[in-house]
Amino acid sequence: MTDLAKRLPDLRGWVVPVGLLLLWWLATAQQWVDTKLVASPLAVVEAAWQAAVSGELVNNLGASLQRNLTGFALGGLLGLLFGTLLGLSRLAERLVGPTFHTAKQIALFAWIPLLSAWFGFGEPAKLAFIALAVFYPVALNSFEGIRATRHELYEVARVLGLSPAQRLCKLVLPSAAPAIFTGLHLGLIYAWLATIGAEYFFSAGPGIGNSMIDGREHFEMDQVLYGLLVVGSVGLLLNRLATWIETRTLAWRVRSH
């Protein structure tokens, strides 16, 4: 019995979701709540099925993911370059570092008025909002990872006569890789949250967030709730994907030790 239990997956993480699902079904079935405000699980499944069959779900999810990954790529690249610059240059840190550390304290949504003034309310503003959400964690973790590079590695680079580019690619970045991947992992999570926020606060267009807004405006709670479940599921999958990529990419560090 013990061996069988070891082979079975750990199902304890399903206790709360299943319990909430049962409570949700029971509350709507017994009319404990107003079903106009809290749609039943069956109604949500039907709304999701209709959206899938009509192609609305695929179109909205595709638009959100494209927006999410574009903003992530932009913010991640800028954050990595900026964090690397601060980590390698003491002068850059003294000149720009205080401004950066002050700006990262500003809440993300506080930038919306400024972004809308600069980029309007369309797609460029949404991408800028997502990129900004990614920029700070990637830049900060890249900076801290590079700054934590052991002094002995720089001595090895000097002895080997490595050029600055070789030193960066062969010693500094591999040493800082765990911190950099942590920043990218956080950036991917923040990018998805910012994607839904951007679809809420900027002009309407294809996207899961806009689908939820349409459901709210038409008082179709089944559409709102299925959108909420899609958002949570995609966020979970992105987090698992980032963890898998990070583990696979950094496996060489475990083997080397």
pLDDT of residue 10: 65
Residue 10: inside a domain, yes or no? Answer: no
Q: How many domains does the chain have?
A: 1
For residue 33, being part of any structural domain is answered with: no
Buried b (16+ CB within 10 A) or exposed e, 130-146: bbbbbbbbbbbbbbbbb
Within a domain: residue 257? Answer: no
Report residue 13's pLDDT band, with 50, 70 and 90 as the boundaries: confident
**What 3-state DSSP class applies to 188?**
helix
Distance between CA atoms of 185 and 79, rounded to whole angstroms? 13
Confidence (pLDDT) at 203: 79
Cα 184 from chain centroid?
9
H/E stretch holding 45 reads helix 41-54
In a domain, 91, yes or no: yes
**pLDDT for 4 beyond 70:** no
Of 217, 230, 222, residue with least CA distance to 39: 222
Domain assignment of residue 113, given as a range: 66-204
Tens digits of residue pLDDT in 185-234: 999 999 999 999 998 888 777 888 888 888 888 888 888 998 899 999 99
Most confident of 8-17, 187-196, 238-247: 187-196
The pLDDT confidence band at residue 6, using thresholds 50, 70 and 90, is: low
Other C-beta atoms closer than 10 Å to the C-beta of 96 total 14
Q: Find the farthest-apart pair of alpha carbons in the chain and give their distance in angstroms, rounded.
A: 76
| Residue 106 counted as domain residue | yes
pLDDT band at 1 (very low <50, low <70, confident <90, very high): very low
Lowest mean pLDDT across 41-50, 149-158, 177-186, 248-257: 248-257
For residue 183, give the CATH number of its domain.
Answer: 1.10.3720.10
245 in a structural domain:
no
Q: What is the pLDDT of residues 53-87, one digit of tens each?
A: 998 889 999 999 999 999 999 999 999 999 999 98
**Domain assignment of residue 2, yes or no:** no
Return all residues near 83 (Cβ < 8 A) that are at least 6 apart: 138, 139, 140, 141, 142, 143, 145, 146, 180, 183
Higher-confidence position of 206 and 10: 206
pLDDT tens-place string over residues 16-37: 888 888 998 998 888 888 888 8
Assigned domain for 70 exists? yes
- For the entire predicted model, the pTM comes to 0.86
